[in-house]
């Protein structure tokens, strides 16, 4: 068994691509299969090395490793052999229409209330007509002649799938400049490198029918591959999740403080009947089951991802995050804040609250109360019991309880309405800072 993930290095890895990468990697890990990373870089004009490096960095961060890797630009001879074989069998034929001519044909068919399919006019071209076109400086692009059959398969997610090829235009496989298109290069790679299982997006279903026809034209058996098509991802509003939003790139989410375990767990469970439970990659692989994924589109909900991230951080040990905390941060600091942050990047704010200088909001109406509180502040050394001791003394002196007691103190000491327990924060802030902040608020 062999699976692959085949990103195009034309941009950053997006959550939709990452979901497919995770699905393939988990399935491969569960079944002890080979996992291949293929870089689909035949689009020379848009492919960039910075994106190749970024994709690999993102995959490694997610916990994904690969057994083999290659680039499509290293395999041009492989594609040329397939092209010559298809030409020899008569399945790949030259076309000379311009984009304007094709657009006019499509418009005419639409006016006649016919599907805008390619009319195969070039199949009627004689050798003499082709020679004349080339003599006039025209360079052909090449289309694959589809059969009139339907291509069906048992999909591991979608169930029984079928593509009626008569409802699809003969695909262009080679551009006039000799560029190989994905439809051909991908299936040739899968055949040549022994890929057995292909997990990809639902938007490839029609393409799968076409590629099966190409594979059979190249001598493959009809049941050569096993497919699983994952439903589309929607945004929180129910619209198609756009890959144009940088905020949905793995690089951006990682930089913003999303934990790798949260991302892999969330994307693996997205659209399935299973609730996301934080677990390592190996445990997640053993639990992964394509049959649990719904056929309906899944909705990417940032609130759910953040909730999962919060759970992971709340359970994280100091040594697990130590290198990513502010310089000088202690275990005491981490234990104080970990249950009240959604993103690790928030720890910098609380480090500033406990060890820096802040300007708390003015509370002129609480002038007398805060002065009394300052006068009752216990001497150091402080511990987690100090907060309770201090607030009891304040209650006895002022009669205040509940929100009237705690809110002015929290605002004065932290500048925030909410946050970690003050019994944990107060020893970190210290008596000198506490007195200064109580004075600043009046």
Q: Which residues are annotated as a binding site?
A: 243
Phi then psi for 233, rounded to 5 degrees?
-100, 135
Q: Which residues are annotated as a binding site for ATP?
A: 243
What SS3 string covers the chain? CEEEECCCCCCCCEHHHHHHHHHHHHHHHHCCCEEEEEECCCCCCCCCHHHHHHHHHHHHHCCCCCCEEEEHHHCHHHHHHHHHHHHHCCCEEEECCCHHHHHHHHHHHHHCCCCCCCCCHHHHCCHHHHHHHHHCCCCCEEEECCCCCEEEEEECCCEEEEEEHHHCCCCEEECCCCCECHHHHHHHHHHHHCCCEEEEEHHHHHHHHHHHHHHHHCCCCCCCCEEEEECCEECCCCCECCCCCHHHEHHHHHHHCCCHHHHHHHHHHCCECCCCCCCCHHHHHHHCCHHHECCCCEECCHHHHHHHHHHHHHHCCHHHHHHHCCCCCCHHHHHHHHHHCCCHHHHHHHHHHHHCCCCCCCCHHHHHHHHHHHHCCCCCCCCCCHHHHHHHHHHHHHCCCHHHHHHHHHHHHHCCCCCCCHHHHHHHHHHHHHHHHHHHCC
- Distance between CA 155 and CA 19 in Å, rounded? 18
Tokens matching residue 140? 């052909």
């Amino acid at each position: 068994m062999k699976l692959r993930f085949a990103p195009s290095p034309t941009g950053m890895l997006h959550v939709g691509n990452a979901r497919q990468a995770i699905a393939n990697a988990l399935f491969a890990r569960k079944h002890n299969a080979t996992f291949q990373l293929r870089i689909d870089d035949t689009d020379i004009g848009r492919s960039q090395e910075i994106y190749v490096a970024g994709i690999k960095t993102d995959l490694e961060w997610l916990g994904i490793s690969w057994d083999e890797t290659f680039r499509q630009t290293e395999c041009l001879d492989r594609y040329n052999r397939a092209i010559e074989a298809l030409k020899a069998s008569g399945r790949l034929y030259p076309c000379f229409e311009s984009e304007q001519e094709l657009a006019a044909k499509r418009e005419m068919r639409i006016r006649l209330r016919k599907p805008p399919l390619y009319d195969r006019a070039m199949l009627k071209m004689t050798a003499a007509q082709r020679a004349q076109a080339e003599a006039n400086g025209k360079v052909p692009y090449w289309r694959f002649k589809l059969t009139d059959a339907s291509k069906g398969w048992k999909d591991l997610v979608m169930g029984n799938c079928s593509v009626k090829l008569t409802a699809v235009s003969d695909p262009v496989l080679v551009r006039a400049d000799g560029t190989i298109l994905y439809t051909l290069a991908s299936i040739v790679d899968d055949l040549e490198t022994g890929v057995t299982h292909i997990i990809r997006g639902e938007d490839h279903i029609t393409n799968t029918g076409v590629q099966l026809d190409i594979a059979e034209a190249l001598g493959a058996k009809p049941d050569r591959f096993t497919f699983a098509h994952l439903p589309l991802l929607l945004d929180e509003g129910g619209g198609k999740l756009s890959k144009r939003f940088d905020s949905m790139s793995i690089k951006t989410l990682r930089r913003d403080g999303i934990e790798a375990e949260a991302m892999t767990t969330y994307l693996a469970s997205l659209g399935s009947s299973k609730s996301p439970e934080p677990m390592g990659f190996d445990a997640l692989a053993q639990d992964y089951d394509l049959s649990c994924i719904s056929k309906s589109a899944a909705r990417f909900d940032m609130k759910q991802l953040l909730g999962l991230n919060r759970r992971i951080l709340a359970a994280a040990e100091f040594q697990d995050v130590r290198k990513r905390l502010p310089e000088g941060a202690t275990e005491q600091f981490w234990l104080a804040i970990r249950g009240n942050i959604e993103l690790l990047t928030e720890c910098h704010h609380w480090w500033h609250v406990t060890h820096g200088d802040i300007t708390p909001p003015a509370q002129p109406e609480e002038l007398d109360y805060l002065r009394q509180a300052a006068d009752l502040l216990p001497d150091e050394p402080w511990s987690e019991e100090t907060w309770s001791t201090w607030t009891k003394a304040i209650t006895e002196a002022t009669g205040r309880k509940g929100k009237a007691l705690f809110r002015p103190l929290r605002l004065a000491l932290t500048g925030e309405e909410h946050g970690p327990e003050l019994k944990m924060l107060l020893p970190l802030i210290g008596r000198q800072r506490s007195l200064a902040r109580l004075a600043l608020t009046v």
